[in-house]
Amino acid sequence: MNPATHLSHPRARGMYPRRWYAALAMAALFAFALPGVASASEGGFRHNVLMRGQVLEKQNETLVVCVGQADGAQVGQVLDVIRHKRGLNAGKAVKDVTFEVRKGEILGFAGLMGAGRTEVARAIFGADKLDSGEIEVHGKRAKIKTPTDAVRLGLAYLSEDRKQFGIVTRMSVRDNITMPSWSRFASAGFWMRDRDLAKTAAKYVDLLKVKTPSVDQETRLLSGGNQQKVVISKWLLRNCDVLFFDEPTRGIDVGAKAEIYRLLQGLADEGKAIVVISSELEEILRLSRRILVMCEGRITGEIDGTAATQEAIMHLATQRQVNQGQAEAA
């Protein structure tokens, strides 16, 4: 299933040629849920982290719980792919995957090409069919059959292919940023408040330091790094709680990478739950509080970000292959 949805608003039907409809629909889906970096939390994000009954970190007084195998809603836990019932299974690419992600943390997914990291995110987001497994959002069981369901529950997914799924290249920066939120700018359910659209887009252009002559510039004319910022802006405008970033800095220069890293950390500091999927080990090590490593569709281990090394990650990323090799040798 392609993670796409139609645009029903009259503006979408009348303002662009028909040949753009497919591109509009494809990008709208991944644009449909961008969260909010704009709303800063007062006093910063303060927390304790509890894991399997042990306090791992203590900063001030607010408690964040990682339940592991506990039942019921837990303070601070945003997304739980349930451990105590059934892990996720999706085709041959995802096999009994279980994990949780908490407010204010960046969770990294590492592994070799074809390990199943992207497939896990797509299955959770409703872009690919889920064969079995359960998902909880804010402690409540979630039924996610389509990306629209995921967006309504506060989940967002930024695809590794931003030009196909993240933006409509021939649309303006303004329309790319605001497209998933057009309903907010409609008067009497029909007329779009163009001044408000431009003002909102300009706000995010300034916030993310998007280099563009104006918000009316076609997005295709921006650099890769600035196109990625436009994609992120959509999620910021939607203000989702859980954000999956799939290869967030692919095709981006070193300077733009540093800006994206600061942005992701800023989102976590504001209490967002961030999941980063990356093939770059340095990127995973730099960003992640915890790292889950996958091999052949399964999670083969979890590493604390403060103690992680490239060697430890690669050991887990090839664990299944090593075990198979030993079995054949025996």
- Crossing angle (nearest 10°) for helices 224-238 and 254-269: 10
DSSP 8-state symbol, 41? P
More confident residue, 84 or 203: 203
Pick the closest to residue 103 from 67, 64, 160 (CA basis): 64
**Residue 288 is encoded by which pair of tokens?**
């992640």
SS3 276: strand
Question: Which of 9-18, 87-96, 168-177 has the least mean pLDDT?
Answer: 9-18
More confident residue, 13 or 103: 103
Are residues 179 and 28 in contact, defined by beta-carbon separation less than 8 angstroms?
Answer: yes
Q: Give the C-alpha separation, 175 to 192, whole Å.
A: 11
Distances (CA, A) of 231 to 159, 219, 228, 237, 259: 10, 10, 5, 10, 14
pLDDT computed for residue 253 by the predictor: 85
Tell me: pLDDT of 40 over 80: no
Are residues 317 and 294 in contact, defined by beta-carbon separation less than 8 angstroms?
Answer: yes
Amino acid at 318: T
Task: For strands 106-111 and 273-277, give the pairing.
Answer: parallel
Q: Give the C-alpha separation, 5 to 27, whole Å.
A: 9
310: phi then psi, degrees, rounded to nearest 5: -65, -35
Tell me: pLDDT of 321 over 70: no
- pTM for the structure as a whole: 0.72
Q: For residue range 261-271, list pLDDT tens digits in order.
A: 999 999 999 99
- Per-chain mean pLDDT for the chain: 75
Q: Give the C-alpha separation, 53 to 94, whole Å.
A: 29
Question: Which of 4-8, 137-141, 213-217, 276-280 has the least mean pLDDT?
Answer: 4-8
| Neighbouring C-alpha atoms within 13 Å toward the C-beta of 148 | 8
Question: Residue 258's Cα: distance from chain center in Å?
Answer: 18
Q: For residue range 41-74, list pLDDT tens digits in order.
A: 323 322 222 232 233 333 332 223 222 233 333 4
Q: Give the C-alpha separation, 82 to 116, whole Å.
A: 18
Question: Which of 56-60, 111-115, 197-201, 229-233 has the least mean pLDDT?
Answer: 56-60
Are residues 308 and 286 in contact, defined by beta-carbon separation less than 8 angstroms?
Answer: no
